[in-house]
Amino acid sequence: MMKILTPEEIADILRQKDNIQIFMHRSPDGDTIGCAYALCMALQRLGKNARAVCSDEIHKKYSYITDKVKKQDFTPGFFISVDIASTQLLGEQYKDYYDKIDLLIDHHGSNTGFAKCGCVDSTSAACTEIVAEVIRKMGVSIDRDIANAIFTGICTDTGCFKYSNVTAKTHIDAADMISCGADCAYICRLMFDTKSKSRIDIERMALESLEFYEDNKIALICITKQMIDASGADESDTEGIAALPRQVEGALIGITIREKENGEFKISARSAGDINVSKMCSLFGGGGHIAAAGCSIHGTADYAKEQIVSAAVATLKEYPEEQ
Amino acid sequence: MMKILTPEEIADILRQKDNIQIFMHRSPDGDTIGCAYALCMALQRLGKNARAVCSDEIHKKYSYITDKVKKQDFTPGFFISVDIASTQLLGEQYKDYYDKIDLLIDHHGSNTGFAKCGCVDSTSAACTEIVAEVIRKMGVSIDRDIANAIFTGICTDTGCFKYSNVTAKTHIDAADMISCGADCAYICRLMFDTKSKSRIDIERMALESLEFYEDNKIALICITKQMIDASGADESDTEGIAALPRQVEGALIGITIREKENGEFKISARSAGDINVSKMCSLFGGGGHIAAAGCSIHGTADYAKEQIVSAAVATLKEYPEEQ
Q: What pLDDT shows up at residue B198?
A: 94
Q: Do B178 and A166 touch (CB under 8 A)?
A: yes
The verdict on B2 touching A (C-beta cutoff 8 Å) is no
Q: What pLDDT shows up at residue B291?
A: 86
Segment B7-35 mean pLDDT? 97
ipTM over 0.95: no
Percent over 90 (pLDDT), chain B: 90
Closest Cα in chain A, distance from residue B106 (Å): 23
Q: What pLDDT shows up at residue B181?
A: 98
Q: Do A176 and B168 touch (CB under 8 A)?
A: yes
When comparing pLDDT for B286 and B66, which is higher?
A: B66
pTM, to two decimals: 0.92
Q: What pLDDT shows up at residue A292?
A: 87
The verdict on B192 touching A (C-beta cutoff 8 Å) is yes
Tell me which DSSP letter residue B287 carries: E
The verdict on A189 touching B (C-beta cutoff 8 Å) is yes
Q: Do B249 and A171 touch (CB under 8 A)?
A: no
Which parts of chain A register pLDDT below 70? none
Q: What pLDDT shows up at residue B14?
A: 98
Q: Which of A171, A196, A200 sits opposite B171 (nearest CB)?
A: A171
Q: What pLDDT shows up at residue B237?
A: 85
Q: What pLDDT shows up at residue A280?
A: 96
Q: What pLDDT shows up at residue A237?
A: 86
Q: What pLDDT shows up at residue A70?
A: 95
Q: Do A164 and B185 touch (CB under 8 A)?
A: yes
Residue B242 has pLDDT above 80, yes or no: yes
Helix (H) or strand (E) holding B266: strand B264-271
The verdict on B166 touching A (C-beta cutoff 8 Å) is yes
The verdict on B59 touching A (C-beta cutoff 8 Å) is no
Contacts of B266 (CB under 8 A, 6+ apart): B257, B258, B260, B294, B295, B296
Amino acid at B102: D
Q: What pLDDT shows up at residue B77?
A: 98
Segment B86-115 mean pLDDT? 96
Q: How far is CA A58 from the centre of its chain?
A: 13
Alpha-carbon span A111 to A127, nearest angstrom: 12
Q: Which of B150, B158, B161, B183 to mutate to test the interface with A (most CBs of A within 10 A)?
A: B161
Domains in chain B, start-ordered, CATH in brackets? 3-192 (3.90.1640.10), 197-322 (3.10.310.30)
Segment B76-98 mean pLDDT? 96
Residue A50 β-bridge partners = A20
Q: What pLDDT shows up at residue A238?
A: 86
Q: Which of A170, A172, A185 sits opposite B162 (nearest CB)?
A: A185
Segment B91-96 mean pLDDT? 96
Residue A152 β-bridge partners = none
Residue numbers in B near A248 (CB within 8 A) = 195-197, 200
Q: What pLDDT shows up at residue A244?
A: 94
Longest Cα–Cα distance of chain B, Å, equals 63
Contacts of B44 (CB under 8 A, 6+ apart): B50, B69, B70, B72
